[in-house]
Structure 1
Amino acid sequence: MTFRVLQLGAGTRGRMWGKVAKMSDDVLTAAIVDPSQASLDLYSAENPETPAFTDLESALSSGQFDAAILVTPPDGHLQQMRRLFDAGLPILAEKPLATTLKDAAAIVEMADAARLPMSVGLNFRYLPVNQTMRQWLTGEKLGQVGFGQFNYRTNRNGKRPGINRYPLVMEHPMMLEQTIHHLDLIRFVHGREVETIACREWNPPWSMYAHEANVNCLLGLEGGVEVNYHGTWSGGWNVYNFEWRVDCADGILVQRKLHSDLAYARSVDPELIDIATPDAAPYYDDSVSLLAEFISSVRNGSPAPCDGRDHLRSLSLCFAGIESSQKGVAVSMSEFYEKNDLSRVLV
């Protein structure tokens, strides 16, 4: 039976989701909503068969839907998701769930009250390279895990055509739009929660972003694992520079390219040894896998993938990192949850 989706948001990522739906089995984007006619025109040029609306109420009145995919700026998610839950629709929402922890927690509680599945678009978890890293690290194939370094450097041109513009003026753009993915992946591949975070945000003088485009964190994970993270959208080179290395008792695991290229070396090996992983198109194949698991949760009542509570832990890391940077101190996550009244929501 065809799974009918109502999609909100026809921007760059929205058009990508239009392709993801077509790549998926028995999925139909039954309506697209965006207040911008220009964005709808671009979407409709690629998807002329999809009814397009500039307001949500008209779209909801146009037919029956099995779920909604929310691909809109996060500052509008609370109101939009309240209306979608009222309409009885499960939701797959792009991250971050909200721009404040209070709103994100409210959304999690709304999903509980509506008894509806809700997932967050943490699609990078589904890339083969990250699935394989998780298997190696949680399985301790290189012995006890000790520490890691995650380096992501680029000079992201936020003004180029075809890219979302709102990060240019939002507060904490690197942290809430990019680093959130990286911190989530660190949690995911290690299978461990973060216990402490010490962080520094800043903006270099030449940055085109109005607010902090650089993030540096030291994360203390369960079991004594330490991870040093550095990410920038305002580097001095217009080329991605990426490396994620994890040191273990008997060797190292290294991801040498963004989204691919995994290798390892045991302590006595003179060179890195490639680890074969299936080919995958980032943002597409991983999103297809996430969507398939979300649909299964809607149809079968299984746990929603990347659910709101799980995402709230990654989002809390971002805000704890912001607090750490502003106060100049390390933050205990257990104390942060208590102080922000999140402990009850995370249970």
Structure 2
Amino acid sequence: MSFRTIPSSPADPLRVVIVGAGGMGRAWLATVTESPEVMLAGIADLDVPLARSAADSAGLPDLPVGADAVALAQQTGAQALINVTVPEAHHPVTTAALFAGLPVLGEKPAAENVSRALSLAAAAEVTGELFMVSQSRRWNPQLAALREMIARLGPIGTVSTTFFRSEHFGGFRELMAYPLLIDMAIHAFDSARFLLQAEPVTAYCQSYNPPWSWYAGDANATVVFEMAGGTRYIYNGSWCSPGATTSWNGSWRVSGEKGTALWDGDHEPVLDGEVDAAEATGTPYSGIAGALQVFVRALRTGEPPSGEVHENVMSLAMVEAAVTSAASGRLEHLDDVLEQAHAQALREETRADVRDALAGWPSVREALTGTVPAETR
């Protein structure tokens, strides 16, 4: 998708408003204030005293704050928003920004469900503004090195991630029906798409809650995805597994025709097989700072970034397919999940121009990825 560009440089940095002054908002605040490529114009939060507290804690007592992100951007001359609100607010905040002529860099997930994310993709088309989702693992240099490594393994049979942690969060996560799948697994699912450069076709999930779990919903899950080309991606994880915990990135194994690549999630990946190891070129980007760099670069050049909303929605669709499978006990087809979400988006869309854009898609998969669903080929 093409989008409007905004010239900027270290001498004329992109002016941004951060929306959301909670814990993650403050992480973004530190990232923005340290970047020479952007200038913080303000902080918006429905809790204005919280926004003021965040500004004060960053040593910016005179920074403008307010409850309405778009109004604050207009008052301060900001050129873009960084949306760090709760998932349920992603759709209204991002939609308002796009239609106000403000590109958006948003925290994952794109929206609270796939239907809302499709609405945002269509809104980006209608407005011609960039909406990029920050999937911070995409900018992990070790993950980039792993992708370079597996390109030398020939055809890939299986990719697996194990994720075992013992986290006492308190609050909403411990009350969710599928806390692991909904709150965390998208990082691994998106990383698998990034590694394989392939999209999901089907999902089969079993989720459950061990008897000692302190979560109300299913804290454990195992998911098998068939990816385009036939590779299987297997995710096996738990939020309540004391002892021998894995990295927050999980532990990865990639099995190919010529060998196997391993990554423990915290150190450089290693290669074992009949293939010469080569030094990885890596990536100049890392974490949310990398996502910010890529966002600014995209606005300068017009080059679609990794994480552009159309490209990103399939990662959220993997989550929705896994949850649907866990509830149904059946293998779920991603195209069915996408089409059902599309129908819901059409029913719920309140803007006629966005609804028309959604209705004009030949298929959801083709609109998102440029590929035609298998059953229509």
TM-score, scaled relative to structure 2: 0.80
Matched with 2:27 is 16
Residue of 123, 126, 129 corresponding to 1:110: 123
* Residues 337 and 344 of structure 1: CA distance in aligned 2, closer, same or farther (over 3 Å): same
Question: Contact 1:158/1:208 (CA < 8 Å) preserved in 2?
Answer: no
1:60: Cα distance to partner?
A: 3.2
Distance in 1, Cα, partners of 2:146 & 2:46: 40
Distance in 2, Cα, partners of 1:228 & 1:41: 43
1:170: Cα distance to partner?
A: 3.8
1:102: Cα distance to partner?
A: 1.4
More moved, 335-344 vs 324-333? 335-344
1:44: Cα distance to partner?
A: 2.6
Q: What are the Cα deviations for residues 154-200 of structure 1, in whole angstroms up to 9, with x where unaligned?
A: 012213xxxxx443334432212210110010011111111111112
Matched with 2:58 is 46
1:119: Cα distance to partner?
A: 0.2
Question: Contact 2:51/2:65 (CA < 8 Å) preserved in 1?
Answer: no
Q: Tell whether 2:212 aligns with 1:182.
A: no
Residue of 229, 253, 263 corresponding to 1:255: 263
* Residues 201 and 277 of structure 1: CA distance in aligned 2, closer, same or farther (over 3 Å): farther
* Residues 302 and 148 of structure 1: CA distance in aligned 2, closer, same or farther (over 3 Å): closer
Q: Tell whether 2:273 aligns with 1:266.
A: yes
**Letter aligned with residue 84 of structure 1:** A
State the percentage of identical aligned residues. Answer: 25
1:232: Cα distance to partner?
A: 1.7
Question: Contact 1:195/1:221 (CA < 8 Å) preserved in 2?
Answer: yes
Matched with 1:81 is 94
* Residues 260 and 276 of structure 1: CA distance in aligned 2, closer, same or farther (over 3 Å): farther
* Residues 35 and 338 of structure 1: CA distance in aligned 2, closer, same or farther (over 3 Å): closer
Residue of 251, 256, 259 corresponding to 1:243: 251
1:345: Cα distance to partner?
A: 4.0
Q: Tell whether 2:110 aligns with 1:97.
A: yes
* Residues 290 and 57 of structure 1: CA distance in aligned 2, closer, same or farther (over 3 Å): closer
Provide the aligned C-alpha RMSD in A.
2.6
Map of 1:233-312 to 2, 5 A cutoff? Answer: 233-237=239-243, 239-240=245-246, 242-256=250-264, 258-266=265-273, 285-312=286-313
1:326: Cα distance to partner?
A: 1.1
1:336: Cα distance to partner?
A: 3.1
Distance in 1, Cα, partners of 2:199 & 2:42: 38
Map of 1:141-180 to 2, 5 A cutoff? Answer: 141-159=152-170, 165-180=171-186
Question: Contact 1:108/1:308 (CA < 8 Å) preserved in 2?
Answer: yes
Distance in 1, Cα, partners of 2:205 & 2:230: 18
Question: Contact 1:196/1:331 (CA < 8 Å) preserved in 2?
Answer: yes
**Letter aligned with residue 132 of structure 2:** S
Distance in 2, Cα, partners of 1:44 & 1:182: 35
Question: Contact 2:259/2:274 (CA < 8 Å) preserved in 1?
Answer: yes
Question: Contact 1:134/1:191 (CA < 8 Å) preserved in 2?
Answer: no
Question: Contact 1:117/1:304 (CA < 8 Å) preserved in 2?
Answer: no
More moved, 28-37 vs 319-328? 28-37
Q: What are the Cα deviations for residues 265-284 of structure 1, in whole angstroms up to 9, with x where unaligned?
A: 11599xxx99778799xxx9
1:40: Cα distance to partner?
A: 4.2
Query: Per the alignment, in what secondary structure is the counterpart of residue 76 of structure 2?
Result: coil
TM-score, scaled relative to structure 1: 0.87
* Residues 189 and 40 of structure 1: CA distance in aligned 2, closer, same or farther (over 3 Å): farther
**Letter aligned with residue 273 of structure 2:** R
* Residues 259 and 335 of structure 1: CA distance in aligned 2, closer, same or farther (over 3 Å): same
Distance in 2, Cα, partners of 1:301 & 1:228: 35
* Residues 89 and 193 of structure 1: CA distance in aligned 2, closer, same or farther (over 3 Å): same
Distance in 2, Cα, partners of 1:88 & 1:229: 39
Distance in 2, Cα, partners of 1:56 & 1:78: 13
1:343: Cα distance to partner?
A: 3.9
Q: Tell whether 2:229 aligns with 1:217.
A: no
**Letter aligned with residue 57 of structure 2:** A
Residue of 26, 34, 44 corresponding to 1:33: 44
Question: Contact 2:73/2:79 (CA < 8 Å) preserved in 1?
Answer: no
Question: Contact 2:186/2:319 (CA < 8 Å) preserved in 1?
Answer: yes
* Residues 132 and 212 of structure 1: CA distance in aligned 2, closer, same or farther (over 3 Å): same
**Letter aligned with residue 60 of structure 1:** A
Question: Contact 1:297/1:303 (CA < 8 Å) preserved in 2?
Answer: yes
* Structure 1 unaligned blocks of 5 or more: 160-164
* Residues 182 and 47 of structure 1: CA distance in aligned 2, closer, same or farther (over 3 Å): farther
Question: Contact 2:321/2:334 (CA < 8 Å) preserved in 1?
Answer: yes
Distance in 1, Cα, partners of 2:280 & 2:55: 36
* Structure 2 unaligned blocks of 5 or more: 1-11, 343-363, 371-377
Q: Which has the higher strand share?
A: 1
More moved, 76-85 vs 336-345? 336-345
Question: Contact 2:145/2:280 (CA < 8 Å) preserved in 1?
Answer: no
1:69: Cα distance to partner?
A: 0.3
Matched with 1:128 is 141
More moved, 290-299 vs 200-209? 200-209
* Residues 240 and 113 of structure 1: CA distance in aligned 2, closer, same or farther (over 3 Å): same
1:237: Cα distance to partner?
A: 2.8
Residue of 199, 210, 214 corresponding to 1:204: 210
Distance in 2, Cα, partners of 1:144 & 1:238: 32
1:52: Cα distance to partner?
A: 2.4
